[in-house]
Structure 1
Amino acid sequence: METTGQGHATSVPTSESVTAATGATGHIGATALVSSEFAPRTTYLNSASTGLLPARAVSAMHRGALSVAEGRPEDMFADVEAARASFARLLGVAPERVAAGASVAVYSGLVAASLPVGAEVLTAEDDFSSTVNPFHVRGDLKVRTVPLERIAESVRPGTELVAVSAVQSADGRVADLPALRAAVRAHGARLYLDASQGTGWLDLAAHMADVDYLASVAFKWLTCPRGVAFFVVPEEAAGFGGVPPLFAGWVAGERPWDSCYGPVTELARSARRFDESPSLFAYAGARQSLAVIEELGVAAIRAHDLALADRFRAGLAELGQEPVPAPGSPIVSVPGLGARQPELSAAGIEVSDRAGNLRAAFHLYNTEADVDALLGALRQGGRG
């Protein structure tokens, strides 16, 4: 994309820089990098709702806003391209396959629009609305819903598309991606993943060979500002998987700054044809947030997050509480305790109430002390 000024320098992290940032063990909650970027004033265990912003992202957004206020706007379109490239590296795909936008629902709608009348779409029960609702509102698709645990075995001849969250928002259950990949290959179906609750800690790159479409917001586990989302489509040679560029505006042009007036004469030859006009301040921060994720490394973040979640599960067992089974997930949902959320928030411990469950989410800036604080509060409340 043509730009109007100079962006900030960026670099791809090396294996040496990742090792230096995370340490040999992969436990990152107390590293210098994390402590310099994150300074919560609460026991923050709510990344499944909103991730904390790193200091460098806050600074970048402040610089960008100030530059506009002073009449010297920074080139924040360069930040969009840097963020796109960073997200592509995290998923192990070419940047040309990645669109930059703001909403998963918008991209679910584009995938829905690509399907023929009467196509069968397989979804999971109680999945996130932005993932599944666009397929329902079309009105001329056959949407079939099954329990998450049965979604792979439920793919059948004639299934056109499987649309499912890689990780369930309500309770942290992780889809059996190897089984699902095998099922869609066996039946010639296409696969659309909402990875909003997985990008940043789950190794999605290992599965992308069989993923046709992937969408993800970035304000959760990727620690970006709200207003940033990404959409992965097949390559141009595969016709972008038949996704129509229904909302193509000037940023979707091959030469955006020559596409501001009248019909766009040539759409981008990459997934940029599916870009939404970007929230530039948010992308200025996202560029920096994604750099933090790359510097730490998804593998180290995953090890750290899961260790904390397992510590919490063990503590719950001692309290006689049984969470929703979600092995291999940093999201822990405890039935019947959702009503404790306001009380915990008043005590400085931030969690969520989802469908009556208490949902705690453990991420890179959390420590064992955070886990123990939540367990202590639950124990204390149980004695009241």
Structure 2
Amino acid sequence: METFESLVRAEFAPKNTYLNTASTGLLPARTVAALGRAALLRAEGRPLDPLFDDVEAARAAFARLAGVSAERVAAGTSVAAHTGVVAASLAPGAEVLTAEDDFTSVLNPFHVRGDLKVRAVPLERLAESVRPGTALVAVSAAQSADGRIADLPALREAAREHGARTYVDFSQAAGWLPMEANAYDFTVCTTFKWLLGPHGAAFLVVPEDFGGLTPVLAGWVAGENPWDSCYGPVTELARSARRFDLTPALFTYAGLRHSLALIEELGVAAVHAHDLALADRFRAGLAALGHQPVPAPGSAIVSVPGLGVRQPELGAAGIQVSDRAGNLRVAFHLYNTAADVDRVLDALSS
């Protein structure tokens, strides 16, 4: 029986100390092989039908990770596009509550509407800031800049109390943090970070009744019978969340289905325990060096104020991390080890 460690060793062989999953996850070997097979189909002029099957397999796998039926999952290309669909559904003058300095893709589509009241508050005050008249609360489950985790249960209760809807971005959480999409009105997630997929895929989870969304970006793939919807207006939209699909990046989904399969094989609970053990080891090491990271208990992302300037020298030493808002951001995932933690601590101590 394969263990967590043996599965990971079979899939990953980084040539450096890679601690930058919050920017981009590494591709598993099985995903790289699938991308090659997909490219050959097109290079050799063979039918691309199997690649559309990959889209559906990836949709189903993500639905299982999210804890919902596949009929509630729309497949697209970016968080910003999905946010745009949610933003388009709001009435003029509606209030959207957001967290200060959240990731742009979660925020900007609401701002560019020009006729919405977008209010930003500190992440820690988000739940208490929901008020009568708040139409929607939009937030990342884990903050990109520093890994802070939103108090989603408190937010859910506050939204229910005041009749507000919730839109939660799991891009920095899905894959290592358990995801309960059923608990929120809308959830969204890109897949090239902790879910280890290629760039170019993102999923939107909607309620069974679609939550009042209009498929403003619908093309032929959003038809109930896509191949009968190629010319003229779509006469019948899909009866499922597929009505919100965007034309898929087929090669991306060909690889993504295998990345998601690996996450399922390992289990999010096991990945969560692995990632947090490394993050906590790093936090303890930082304390010993006299550094205080941004408080983000329970997060796989550790952000250290004032050390962002060290990113270039760490990169030159083969340690891949990020400089975000002046902070040194270090992200731990399933292919990292205690040796990786110790290496970056040794580099910071010099």
Q: TM-score, normalised by structure 2?
A: 0.98
Q: Deviations over 1:82-110 (max 9, x none)?
A: 00000000010010000011110011111
State the match for 2:33 in structure 1.
59
* Residues 79, 202 of structure 2: 8 Å contact kept: yes
Matched, 1:267 2:242: no
* Residues 85, 217 of structure 2: 8 Å contact kept: no
Structure 2 CA distance, aligned partners of 1:279 and 1:21?
32
Q: Deviations over 1:186-213 (max 9, x none)?
A: 11110000110011011112xx333111
- What percentage of residue pairs aligned between the two structures are identical? 73
Aligned residues: 349
- Residue 172 of structure 1 aligns to a residue whose secondary structure is coil
Structure 1 CA distance, aligned partners of 2:201 and 2:120?
29
- Residue 222 of structure 1 aligns to a residue whose secondary structure is coil
Structure 1 CA distance, aligned partners of 2:42 and 2:277?
43
Matched, 1:213 2:186: yes
- The match for 2:292 among 322, 328, 345 is 322
Structure 2 CA distance, aligned partners of 1:263 and 1:143?
34
State the match for 2:228 in structure 1.
258
5+ residue gaps, structure 1: 1-19, 23-27
* Residues 185, 210 of structure 1: 8 Å contact kept: no
* Residues 68, 182 of structure 2: 8 Å contact kept: no
State the match for 1:151 in structure 2.
126
State the match for 1:114 in structure 2.
89
**Offset at residue 247 of structure 1 (A):** 1.2
- The match for 2:19 among 45, 57, 70 is 45
Structure 2 CA distance, aligned partners of 1:182 and 1:242?
21
Q: Deviations over 1:204-230 (max 9, x none)?
A: 12xx33311111100000000000110
State the match for 1:33 in structure 2.
7
Q: TM-score, normalised by structure 1?
A: 0.90
Structure 1 CA distance, aligned partners of 2:247 and 2:182?
29
Matched, 1:187 2:156: no
- Residue 153 of structure 1 aligns to a residue whose secondary structure is helix
Aligned residue runs from structure 1 range 200-239, under 5 A = 200-205=175-180, 208-235=181-208, 238=209
**One-letter amino acid of the counterpart of residue 110, structure 1:** V
Structure 2 CA distance, aligned partners of 1:103 and 1:94?
21
* Residues 99, 272 of structure 1: 8 Å contact kept: yes
Structure 2 CA distance, aligned partners of 1:112 and 1:21?
45
Q: Deviations over 1:149-178 (max 9, x none)?
A: 000011111111000001000000000011
Q: Which runs of 4+ in 1 moved over 4 A?
A: none
Aligned residue runs from structure 1 range 1-384, under 5 A = 20-22=1-3, 28=4, 31-74=5-48, 75-205=50-180, 208-235=181-208, 238=209, 240-380=210-350
**Offset at residue 21 of structure 1 (A):** 4.6
5+ residue gaps, structure 2: none
Structure 2 CA distance, aligned partners of 1:32 and 1:167?
29
- Residue 72 of structure 1 aligns to a residue whose secondary structure is coil
> What RMSD, in angstroms, separates the aligned Cα atoms of the two structures?
0.8
* Residues 279, 299 of structure 2: 8 Å contact kept: yes
**Offset at residue 34 of structure 1 (A):** 0.3
**Offset at residue 231 of structure 1 (A):** 0.5
Q: Deviations over 1:128-159 (max 9, x none)?
A: 00001111110111111100000001111111
**Compared CA separation, residues 79 and 314, structure 1 to 2 (3 A):** same
